[in-house]
Amino acid sequence: MLNGFWKLTWIETKVFIREPMGFVTSLAMPLVIFLVFGSLSFGSSGTTSTVEAPFNVPILAALFIALSAVASLVVIISIYRESGILKRLRATPLSPVTILSAQVVVRLLFTVASLAILIVAGRQFFPGALDVNLPSFTAALLLSTLSILSLGFVIASLVPTSRFARPITAGFLYPMVVLSGLFFPIEQLPLPLRIFANGLPTTHAVSLMLGVWDGSGWGAHLGSVAALILIFLVCIGLTTRIFRWE
């Protein structure tokens, strides 16, 4: 029922904002990463970057926006499951898809908000550092976030209790960042690890966002787009089998 979907999404948005810890942390973390690494690589003034960064700082920050969204998804799902909120919602005419989609939409909403904060901060502190096709980059970040969120549902299905939600999620996500190709080309990895890295959504997210960043556009990265969509479909398929409501 569509009516219930928008009402639930709006309520979940308000409920998330009312919880200062989770809300501020998820917005602040990418910003802090951006400002710290940004000031190291761009310098504090000038219109162009003076120091060659060992990796693309804005992409790292954008990746952390996506990962924050996933971490908050896993935590919220596990808390809702543990306290019987999922069970109560499921006993209403709300469909299971509606209940979980509302969470996805809220995460995507805050992904856009985080990116907006990043852009504003970038214009303020590192003018010229964020010269990018914004609509295209936003779309790339949203697709990446959606794909990693689907993996978040798989993690949320496996997390035993809400206490372990954050550490387990971190344990899944941070190694993925290392293998994403942001810090060193994954071609340098031994073959088994390279295959593994290619199965991770973060790798394709980084490849797509870097592509958009360099101006080569979506057409040159259709492989990454297809991989992100495929990972999304596989994870959602898996979720429908293993997701626990209580």
Partner 1 sequence: MPTPVISVSHLGKSYGSTVAVDDLSLEVYKGEVFGLIGPNGAGKTTTMECVEGLRKADRGTISVLGLDPRRDATALEQRIGVQHQEAQLQKRIKVWEAVDLWSALYVKVVDTEALLARLGLEAKRDARFMTLSGGQKQRLFIALAMIHDPEVIFLDEVTTGLDPQARRTIWGLITDMKERGKTVFLTTHLMEEAERLCDRVAIIDHGRLVEVGTPAELVEKHCPQRSVVFTSEGNGAAERLAGGTGVLSVTSEGCTHTLRGEGDDFVTHVINLIARENIQVTGFRTELPTLEDVFLKLTGHGIRA
Q: Which residues bind partner 1 (CB under 8 A)?
A: 1, 3-4, 7-8, 11-12, 14-15, 18-19, 80, 83-85, 87-88, 90-94
**How far is residue 194's CA from residue 68's CA, in Å, rounded to a whole number?**
25
Nearer to partner 1, 91 or 195 (CB): 91
Closest CA to 217 of 107, 135, 157: 135
Contacts of 129 (CB under 8 A, 6+ apart): 38, 42, 49, 57, 58, 122
Nearer to partner 1, 50 or 92 (CB): 92
Contact, 154 vs 168, CB < 8 A?
no
Nearer to partner 1, 80 or 232 (CB): 80
Nearer to partner 1, 7 or 163 (CB): 7
Residue 109: CB minimum distance to partner 1, A: 17
Residue 105: CB minimum distance to partner 1, A: 15
**How far is residue 58's CA from residue 38's CA, in Å, rounded to a whole number?**
8
Residue 55: CB minimum distance to partner 1, A: 38
Nearer to partner 1, 14 or 163 (CB): 14
Ranges of H-type helices in the chain: 2-17, 20-42, 57-82, 85-90, 96-125, 134-158, 165-178, 191-198, 201-214, 222-242
Residue 113: CB minimum distance to partner 1, A: 18
Cα dihedral 114→120→125→130 (10° resolution): 80
Residue 240: CB minimum distance to partner 1, A: 16
Cα dihedral 130→131→134→136 (10° resolution): -110
